[in-house]
Structure 1
């Protein structure tokens, strides 16, 4: 379902798959996937308009500033071997080693 895919170096990790998606309203998101993330669930599960068929999704937020950081994808078939995973919006992520040197404001507060 991705519009495009590329490998990139992100923080200490090399060859991270970055996928470009477009939501039904036309907003574009560069997304990376991961098995773990320090986030909070900000919505109930939704089954429609998913980029990964067979998965429901939940909106995720930053546990500190509550800014949207991505989605959790949960298998619709509870009896399958499929596992949940996180799709994180690349532009909304900040790496810990970068944060030590920055004063960070949520993007909504920046002009």
Structure 2
């Protein structure tokens, strides 16, 4: 922080304004917790602040973990009909592509149909978009209309990515 030792009130006003702006920016940065990135290509798929808990009784296992500055994230383990296991986190929204083909069978979230979600940049399967089936949505007004189930192993938080960057050593001659 810049400290100005002038006696003029004009300089003090500028200093106070600069301090307020700095405090505002620090506060805004604390609330924004970064992005979840595609593990394959680094595309920004979802904001960490959009993660929420959407429990399913069909999960074969559950756990809480920390992602993005101590945020408790509800992680569910699901098994598909082919015997594959997926750790899934849920987000209100994500920047993912779907083929717009909805499947009602084998949904891990009863009352929701699903479609495959892919990374728009590299096409990697990153999860599923779950959309409330019309009949179920009309019965329950409080039901969420849609959300994204993101495969935990297909994403990285940007803080994790930044920790992987190696700064080269400086060599002195």
TM bracket (short chain): 0.7 to 0.9
Q: Does residue 38 of structure 1 match 2:38?
A: no
Is contact 1:43–1:60 with CA below 8 Å preserved after alignment? no
Structure 1: runs of 5+ lacking an equivalent:
104-111
The aligned residue for residue 88 of structure 1 is 150
* Number of equivalences: 103
Distance in 1, Cα, partners of 2:69 & 2:121: 23
Deviations 1:39-94 (A, max 9, x none): 11135011101101111001000111110000011111252422211110000012
TM-score (norm 2): 0.54
Higher strand share: 1
Residues 47-66 of structure 1 mapped to structure 2, 5 A cutoff: 47-66=104-123
Q: Cα RMSD (Å) of the superposition?
A: 1.9
Aligned to 2:67: 10
TM-score (norm 1): 0.82
Deviates more, 1:9-18 or 1:59-68: 9-18
- Is the 1:72–1:84 contact (alpha carbons within 8 Å) kept by the matching residues of 2? yes
**Which whole-Å CA distance do the structure 2 matches of 1:97 and 1:61 have between them?**
22
Tell me the residue number matched to 1:29. Answer: 86
Secondary structure of 2:62's partner? strand
| Higher helix proportion | 2
The CA deviation string for residues 15-41 of structure 1, in whole angstroms up to 9 with x for no partner, is 100000000000000000110111111
Work out which of the two has the higher radius of gyration on C-alpha atoms and give 1 or 2: 2
Instruction: Tell me, in whole angstroms, the C-alpha distance in 2 between the residues paired with 1:102 and 1:59.
Output: 29
